[in-house]
Amino acid sequence: MHVSHLTLHDFRSYASVDVELGPGVTAFVGRNGQGKTNLVEAVDYLSRLSSHRVASDAPLVRAGAEKAVVRAAVVRDGRTAVLEVEINPGRSNRARVNRSPLPRARELVGLVRTVVFSPEDLTLVKGDPSDRRRFLDDLLVLRAPRLAGVRSDYDRVLKQRNSLLKTIGAARRGSSSQEAALATLAVWDENLARTGAELLAARLDLVERLAPYVGKAYETVARGAGRDDARIAYRPSFELGEARDAAGLAERLLAEVERRRGDEIDRGISLVGPHRDDLLLTLAHGGGEQELPVKGYASHGESWSFALALRLASYDLLRADGDDPILVLDDVFAELDAERRAQLAELVADAEQVLVTAAVGADVPEALAGARFTVAGGEVRRDG
Ligand SMILES: Nc1ncnc2c1ncn2[C@@H]1O[C@H](COP(=O)(O)OP(=O)(O)OP(=O)(O)O)[C@@H](O)[C@H]1O
């Protein structure tokens, strides 16, 4: 798939901008702070309804404006659809496809798929477990958009359950209000187990599918590495036993929640479930004899290679699903040495569409020659 036309209104620094795009490589080049990333961030937002740079929508709307609009014509298998999202911070976003409103903006997710490489990717390796959970869940939802509903149901259940746990902890022991809250808690335990198990089953399946691609991608980007050196493993917050399907996992999760009830009430938070899990990243050394976690042990270069490998693996997996996602390389070349630059360029050069941003045109490897735009002073002009 590729975006053939992008229009922004009051998105980030742009009051209004229109850009014609084609398949192949397009590079946006310009000095720092001119709005290059804002353009590719808009395409990524359409894909996931969230940004790779900020957690909330407010910064996406131009300062002083009330709402932002991102519209893109997306060509897939020769057919064009016009996707549009109106970003209304603090209120519901609205989405349209070919001018027809969707019942919920969420239904837009997955209609355009992006894989973004950016300097922020280092947080996948060095950041908190929440960064890695977000990585998994974003990929899950791109592959199976219905899981966006499961993900938001789980977040809602978790919030309600945590507030109930706090109420129970604050109530007088044995009081009628505490008894009533405990009875309600049983309902939220079931909800947590049901939605949590569905999310967990999907993550376990994803990690199993992604793992071979991570090994292969790491071998390609890291000098001298072997195919099995980079490994990923899902680390759940409780003992799964033999369970792998949603029903079996729900049973296990419910049993664990009941076992930890006292702790949860004391601390006023839910202590087990997919919100406490992590994706463990390890590197094998010395021909596989020693395996060390990447976080806290790997060098800066190894960490970068692992982050790149996670993104490349996502790209390969989405491609194996039969759909060529749009690749976004946001400011990554300045971070990489010449050899890694060339390797990355070679790996992505045959993607249907690659959008690149760079402050210095010379940083874009020759293998990625294509259309070039200069971004300056709020304008996006095609060179040549
Ligand atoms: N909501 C907003 N309203 C107005 N301006 C904004 C908003 N959000 C960001 N900007 C401006 O957009 C500019 C940053 O744009 P962008 O991140 O696209 O830069 P860039 O060209 O990619 O730069 P670099 O090469 O440094 O990464 C900054 O000047 C910032 O102040």
Mutational pocket test of ligand 1: of 8, 28, 34, the residue with most ligand atoms within 8 Å of the beta carbon? 34
- Determine whether the shortest distance from the Cβ of 12 to ligand 1 is under 6 A: yes
Question: In terms of pLDDT, which residue wins out, 336 or 20?
Answer: 20
Interval 21-64: pLDDT, tens: 999 999 999 999 999 999 999 999 999 998 888 888 999 999 99
Give the contacts of 303 (CB within 8 A, at least 6 positions apart).
Answer: 122, 125, 126, 294
Both 91 and 11 in one domain: the answer is: yes
**pLDDT recorded at residue 231:** 96
Both 310 and 349 in one domain: the answer is: no
Q: Give nearest CA residue, ligand 1 atom 16.
A: 35
Mean pLDDT (whole number) for 211-225: 89
- Determine whether the shortest distance from the Cβ of 62 to ligand 1 is under 6 A: yes
ipTM of the complex: 0.96
Give the contacts of 57 (CB within 8 A, at least 6 positions apart).
Answer: 51, 87, 88, 89, 93
Q: Which of 304, 322, 340 is the last residue of a domain?
A: 322
- Determine whether the shortest distance from the Cβ of 34 to ligand 1 is under 6 A: yes
Q: Give nearest CA residue, ligand 1 atom 24.
A: 32
Give the contacts of 284 (CB within 8 A, at least 6 positions apart).
Answer: 226, 228, 229, 230, 231, 290, 291
Q: How far is the CA of 54 from the centre of ligand 1 (A)?
A: 12
Question: In terms of pLDDT, which residue wins out, 213 or 369?
Answer: 213
**Cα–chain center distance at 305:** 18
Both 182 and 139 in one domain: the answer is: yes
Q: Give nearest CA residue, ligand 1 atom 5.
A: 13
Q: How far is the CA of 77 from the centre of ligand 1 (A)?
A: 33
Both 102 and 184 in one domain: the answer is: no
Tokens of 286: 């010395």
Q: How far is the CA of 13 from the centre of ligand 1 (A)?
A: 6
Mutational pocket test of ligand 1: of 11, 17, 37, the residue with most ligand atoms within 8 Å of the beta carbon? 37
**pLDDT recorded at residue 376:** 95
Residue 257 and residue 165: Cα distance in Å, rounded?
A: 12
- Determine whether the shortest distance from the Cβ of 32 to ligand 1 is under 6 A: yes
Q: Give nearest CA residue, ligand 1 atom 27.
A: 32
Both 93 and 191 in one domain: the answer is: no
Which residue has 């998105």 as its token pair? Answer: 11
Mean pLDDT (whole number) for 238-246: 92
Residue 5, φ and ψ in degrees, nearest 5: -155, 135
Both 332 and 294 in one domain: the answer is: no
Q: Which of 322, 338, 368 is the last residue of a domain?
A: 322
Q: Give nearest CA residue, ligand 1 atom 3.
A: 62
Residue 11, strand partner residues = 14, 61
Atom of ligand 1 nearest to the CA of 13: 5
Interval 109-145: pLDDT, tens: 989 999 999 988 999 999 999 999 999 999 999 999 9
Both 88 and 211 in one domain: the answer is: no
User: What does pTM read for this prediction?
Assistant: 0.91
Q: How far is the CA of 36 from the centre of ligand 1 (A)?
A: 8
Both 52 and 198 in one domain: the answer is: no
Both 318 and 329 in one domain: the answer is: no
Both 180 and 245 in one domain: the answer is: yes
Tokens of 124: 């996948």
Tokens of 160: 């309600």
Total number of domains in the chain: 2
Q: Which of 322, 337, 372 is the last residue of a domain?
A: 322
Q: How many CB atoms lie within 10 A of CB 306?
A: 29
Residue 154 and residue 310: Cα distance in Å, rounded?
A: 25
**pLDDT recorded at residue 186:** 93
Interval 62-110: pLDDT, tens: 999 999 999 999 999 999 999 999 999 999 999 999 999 999 998 999 8
**Closest listed residue to residue 349, CA positions, set 306, 314, 302, 312:** 312
Q: How far is the CA of 179 from the centre of ligand 1 (A)?
A: 53
The secondary structure of residue 61, as a DSSP letter, is B
At 297, which CATH number?
A: 1.20.1050.90
33 is in an annotated binding site: yes
**Cα–chain center distance at 81:** 23
Q: How far is the CA of 374 from the centre of ligand 1 (A)?
A: 15
Say if residues 375 and 358 touch (Cβ distance below 8 Å).
no
- Determine whether the shortest distance from the Cβ of 37 to ligand 1 is under 6 A: yes
Domain span at 146? 119-322
Interval 256-315: pLDDT, tens: 999 999 999 999 999 999 999 999 999 998 777 789 999 989 988 899 899 999 999 999
Both 109 and 133 in one domain: the answer is: no
Residue 200 and residue 78: Cα distance in Å, rounded?
A: 36
At 19, which CATH number?
A: 3.40.50.300
Mean pLDDT (whole number) for 164-187: 91
Both 154 and 181 in one domain: the answer is: yes
**Closest listed residue to residue 161, CA positions, set 238, 269, 257:** 269
Q: Give nearest CA residue, ligand 1 atom 14.
A: 33
Residue 330, strand partner residues = 357
Residue 243's pLDDT band, with cuts at 50, 70 and 90, is confident
